[in-house]
Amino acid sequence: MDVNGFYAIGAALAIGLSTLGPGIGQGLASAKALEGMARQPEIIGDLRTNMLICLAFMEALAIYGLVFAFMLFGKIA
Amino acid sequence: MDAVMQVASSEGVHYLAGGHTLWEASAYGFNFSFTMGLTKWMVVFWGVMLFMIIAGTIGARKKALVPSGWQNFSEWTYGGLSNFFSKMIGPHLGKTFGPLLVTFFIFILLSNYSGMLPLNFSMDEGTLSLSNLQAPTSVFSVTAGFALIVFFCTHFAGFKENKLRYFKFFVSPIAFMLPFTIIDVVIHPFTLALRLFGNIHGEETVVEQLMQLSVFVNGWAPAIIEVLGMLFGLIQALIFSLLAAIYISEAAEHF
């Protein structure tokens, strides 16, 4: 089998698998934040800022996968 | 001239001028290089800089007591953002680092949005073709430069507020934590750069792929993702400056 095929599969797996965890995590975090906003509308501003920071940390994990997918993609001749 | 550190890109970089490779290395099958040259995104970068300088100068030219027009808008923008960051890091630090964080926010926002302007003229065998500009923030060397500024500002704030007691920060709960804190110090700016680069570069790649697809769907597919891209650009600019604010206030708290 051509080695380029392995690079392509590796790139697809890198981005595909690395989105699973952050997807679930971001869903849980934003669900709880929305619940908090609905219960206490007076702290919506604070909650939104903190939720964005939490989402950014989780998103970084998916971005690592994306970067590695790009690097592997660049190796396909 | 600017130094371009190419870490992750799917194709070679085209230089408008220069392009002398100073340093080259290969590790684990990946090539890393350090090249001096003028690139397309640098021209966009300078354009954004020029826009900000001109807009700021016009806003502050006639300091009317009752502002109106452009002066009113720029004062409202700066005041609102400055208040927002000052509330996060405290009024004392806000006085020193507020302008930096506001500049980061506006500059990254404009850089992200500059990727949507269809101003990239290219002559290809006598026919003129137009395509989107490349956003400067979709290049790792640019975001790494931003993150380096944050890195130095963080430790500058720490030493300024705590003097030599700042070294206690590295062994804060117990001395056992020292290796982990040092890893943290390196990882924080690295993730900051990688997050911005990955998001914007990923979005641009999606747009590029949809442009090729849109032969079949009359060019509407990229337009939808561009609307989403406007939201992402705003959120990424906000997150970069928010995290920079948090790192600075974390280092500056007293020990």
CB < 8 Å to A77, chain B: none
Residue B125 has pLDDT above 50, yes or no: yes
Q: Which CATH architecture has domain A3-76?
A: Up-down Bundle (1.20)
Highest mean pLDDT among A24-38, A55-69, B28-42, B190-204: A24-38
CB B24 within 8 A of CB B33: yes
CB < 8 Å to B242, chain A: 49, 52-53, 56
Using the beta-carbon criterion (under 8 Å), do A70 and B8 form an inter-chain contact? yes
Q: How far is A26 from chain B (nearest CA, A)?
A: 15
Residue B218 has pLDDT above 70, yes or no: no
How far apart CA A23 and CA B130 sit, in angstroms, is 36
Provide the whole-model pTM: 0.84
Residue B174 has a CB neighbour count (10 Å cut-off) of: 7
Q: Mean pLDDT, to the nearest integer, of B84-95?
A: 89
Domain residue limits, chain A: 3-76
φ and ψ of B60, to 5 deg: -105, 10
Of B9, B202, B235, which has the smallest distance from its Cβ to A74's Cβ?
B9
Highest mean pLDDT among B54-58, B162-166, B202-206: B54-58
Using alpha carbons, list the distances in angstroms from residue A75 to A48, B13, B105, B140, B243: 40, 15, 34, 18, 33
pLDDT of residue B17: 72
pLDDT of residue A74: 79
Q: How far is B10 from chain A (nearest CA, A)?
A: 4
Residue B234: closest CA among chain A residues belongs to which residue?
A: A52
Residue B34 has pLDDT above 90, yes or no: no
CB < 8 Å to B11, chain A: 74
When pLDDT is cut at 50, 70 and 90, the band that residue A16 belongs to is: very high
Q: Mean pLDDT, to the nearest integer, of B44-62?
A: 89
Helices (H) and strands (E) in chain A, counts: 2, 0
Using the beta-carbon criterion (under 8 Å), do A56 and B201 form an inter-chain contact? no
Of A52, A59, A73, which has the smallest distance from its Cβ to B10's Cβ?
A73
pLDDT of residue A28: 96
Residue B66 has pLDDT above 90, yes or no: no
* Domain ranges, residue B95: 2-252
**What's the total number of domains in chain B?**
1
Structure token pair of residue B102: 């506001």
Q: How far is B178 from chain A (nearest CA, A)?
A: 22
When pLDDT is cut at 50, 70 and 90, the band that residue B153 belongs to is: very high
Residue A61: closest CA among chain B residues belongs to which residue?
A: B195
Of A52, A73, A75, which has the smallest distance from its Cβ to B238's Cβ?
A52
Q: What is the mean pLDDT of chain B?
A: 82
pLDDT of residue B216: 59
Of A53, A63, A75, which has the smallest distance from its Cβ to B198's Cβ?
A63
Using the beta-carbon criterion (under 8 Å), do B194 and A64 form an inter-chain contact? yes
How far apart CA A38 and CA A42 sit, in angstroms, is 9
Residue B2 has pLDDT above 60, yes or no: no
Using the beta-carbon criterion (under 8 Å), do B191 and A73 form an inter-chain contact? no
Using the beta-carbon criterion (under 8 Å), do B10 and A70 form an inter-chain contact? yes
ipTM for the predicted complex: 0.79
